[in-house]
Structure 1
Amino acid sequence: MTRPPFDPATEADISTVSAQLGRPARNVIGIAARCVCGAPTVVATAPRLADGTPFPTLYYLSHPAATAALSFLEATQVMNEYNQMLADDDELREHYRSAHESFLADREMIGSVPEIAGISSGGMPERVKCLHALGAHALAAGPGVNPIGDLALLRAAWSPEVCECLDYAPPAVPPADA
């Protein structure tokens, strides 16, 4: 089986992601989206962590500026608006369900984890719960796959077309064994 389209993570990528997150990166299996400068923006994470824990969030937003912008957007209660849009628009709701199925298919190509079968992320396919997860999926899959993730990215005060990496000073990351 072919894996979803993402780059293998290098040691430099893992170091960058760890700095972005402010903690050691866990179980990164690839970089699913990058900043225009090449830095990781979205990581692909194994569906089962090394300690055996099921992890449904395949696409994880790591870029600090993107994370901050989507956090700010969530604070505006825009998720209520998006949930209402889903309730009112049959076509949008079907497109969102297709995004959920696409996400599940991507994760299943990496590995099957029975405990999370049918569970994607971000509230898909029924509601909007986490714009970080939906934006990460939209960035990884490309425009047109996740309609709510696309809407959130368009509305956020951040763009994948503009590098904000140098504006971010990462915290020191403790060693993995600390």
Structure 2
Amino acid sequence: MPSPSVIDQIDLATIEQQLGRLPRGLVRVAWRCADGHPGVVVTEPRLPDGTPFPTLYYLTCPLAVAGASTLEAQGVMTEMTARLADDEPLAEQYRQAHESYLAERRALGVVPEIDHVSAGGMPTRVKCLHVLVAHALAAGPGVNPLGDEAVAKLRDFPFGQCLGER
């Protein structure tokens, strides 16, 4: 897992502003933009109210969220899912990303209801680029191939400025 990054009161206020609501189940900041603002947070696998929450890495940066939404609207998820059916090496890397995601979440606690469910459609399809982008940013390049592709596409959006030298 990435090294921990404490969530201080400034981060908490920033994340609340980014989301437009009070965040729940925060563990730490997993990725920060080039300016140091939180961009991806780690959430508990079970929220404080007891709800299972499969999304370990949650994208908070508004520019990244908007960019991922635009890519989804452009049909990127459908194209990526089709490639998974035709490209066995890509499908295997994506399955490995799924297993990595599960292991990272289990390190925070096992929640039986979601134990074998990762997020974003992994391991067989792409249903949420926001999750894949968050995973790729938090885990670093080479862990989630489709998340890495989506991050690369986001370089052409305003979010590109947040990536810095990544």
Q: Normalising to structure 2: TM-score of the pair? A: 0.93
Which residue of 56, 66, 89 corresponds with 1:68? 66
Q: What aligned pairs does 1:131-146 form with structure 2 within 5 A after superposition?
A: 131-146=129-144
Query: By how many angstroms is 1:4 displaced?
Result: 5.0
Query: By how many angstroms is 1:10 displaced?
Result: 1.3
Q: Is the 8 A contact 1:4 1:106 kept in 2?
A: no
Q: Is the 8 A contact 2:2 2:138 kept in 1?
A: no
Structure possessing the higher relative contact order (Cα contacts under 8 Å, 6 or more residues apart): 1
Measured in 1, the distance between the counterparts of 2:10 and 2:127 equals: 32
Query: By how many angstroms is 1:28 displaced?
Result: 0.7
Asked if residue 161 in structure 1 is aligned to residue 163 in structure 2, the reply is: yes
Q: Is the 8 A contact 2:43 2:55 kept in 1?
A: yes
Give the match's secondary structure for 2:107: helix
Query: By how many angstroms is 1:97 displaced?
Result: 0.3
Q: Is the 8 A contact 2:46 2:111 kept in 1?
A: yes
Asked if residue 91 in structure 1 is aligned to residue 93 in structure 2, the reply is: no
Task: Return 5+ residue gaps in structure 2 as ranges.
Answer: none
Measured in 1, the distance between the counterparts of 2:140 and 2:4 equals: 12
In our comparison, the structure showing a higher alpha carbon Rg is 1
Asked if residue 120 in structure 1 is aligned to residue 122 in structure 2, the reply is: no
Cα deviation 1:119-168 (Å, max 9, x = unaligned): 11000001000000000000000001000101111112232424xxxxxx
What root-mean-square deviation, in Å, do the aligned CA atoms of Structure 1 and Structure 2 show? Answer: 1.1
Q: Normalising to structure 1: TM-score of the pair? A: 0.87
Q: Is the 8 A contact 1:96 1:124 kept in 2?
A: yes
- Corresponding letter in the other structure for 2:39: T
Q: Is the 8 A contact 1:34 1:42 kept in 2?
A: yes
Which residue of 37, 40, 44 corresponds with 2:42? 44
Give the match's secondary structure for 2:40: strand
Which residue of 76, 80, 97 corresponds with 1:78? 76
Measured in 1, the distance between the counterparts of 2:4 and 2:31 equals: 7
Structure 2 counterpart of 1:59 = 57
Give the match's secondary structure for 1:110: coil
Measured in 2, the distance between the counterparts of 1:161 and 1:129 equals: 23
Taking only the aligned residue pairs, the percentage that are identical comes to 54
Name the count of aligned residue pairs: 160
- Corresponding letter in the other structure for 1:141: A
Cα deviation 1:23-58 (Å, max 9, x = unaligned): 111111100000111100001001000000000000
Query: By how many angstroms is 1:8 displaced?
Result: 2.2
Task: Return 5+ residue gaps in structure 1 as ranges.
Answer: 163-178
